[in-house]
Amino acid sequence: MERRRQRLEPYRRRLADDTATTETFQLTPQYGGTLMGCDIHIVLERRRNGQPKWIGEYCSDNHPVVGRNLRARQRDYGFFGRLAHVRHHPEEGPHHYPQNLPRDVSDLAWDQYMRCPTDYHTPSHLSVPDFCEAYLAENPNDPQIRAEHVAFDLLGVDSEEDCEYRVVFWFDN
């Protein structure tokens, strides 16, 4: 508790200098009681029906090179909390608990995760439909997501009939 107070002291001092900001700014955000910054790292994996190996399609850390639409990568603490089952316990909608990295994870996902394994936390994976369902449960009125094309609008996935897709993800602070 003392360490948290020490970390927040510069913010308190800065706020004390500006009375207008002091009246409107709260040091306890909606989810969790401390100032936080959290990002999601996503690897989309594909496996052809009948094949045992998952192939990494792309990683959100280098998505501009790939040219995919990654709406899912934007900071959305309600969505992140639903995926990681932390700081947010929704009454309605899907509940997902972290499942760790899958045993048959693609080489791309493994390489990306091992870049900073001590900084990353709450690794998990979901099918694309489950991932999209969790997003829609948290953001039912997102104007940039079309219900009939949610996988494409959220992850840039144009599904093929002979392929299975899943999302491997983890977070950092």
Q: What is the pLDDT of residue 44?
A: 93
Query: For residues 15 and 80, what is the distance between their CA atoms, to the nearest angstrom?
Result: 29
- Cβ contacts of 139-144, under 8 Å, gap ≥ 24: 139/76, 139/78, 139/79, 142/71, 144/71
Q: What is the pLDDT of residue 35?
A: 47
pLDDT at res. 95: 67
SS3 147: helix
- The residue among 165, 158, 170, 84 whose CA lies nearest residue 127 is 165
Residue closest to 134 by CA, chosen among 75, 72, 86: 72
Look at 62 and 33; give whichever has higher pLDDT: 62
Percent composition of the chain: helix, strand, coil (DSSP 3-state, to 5): 40, 20, 40
Among residues of the chain, what percentage have pLDDT more than 90?
A: 28
Domain ranges of the chain: 1-30, 37-172
Whether the pLDDT of residue 41 is over 80: the answer is yes
Q: Mind giving me the DSSP string for 21-70?
A: HHHH--SS-TTTSS----EEEEEEEEEETT----EEEEEGGGHHHHT---
pLDDT of residue 11: 46
Q: Model confidence over 83-127: pLDDT tens digits? A: 887 766 666 666 677 889 999 999 999 999 999 888 999 899 999
Which token pair is 168? 């491997």
Whole-number Cα distances in Å, 54 to 102, 104, 156:
10, 7, 18
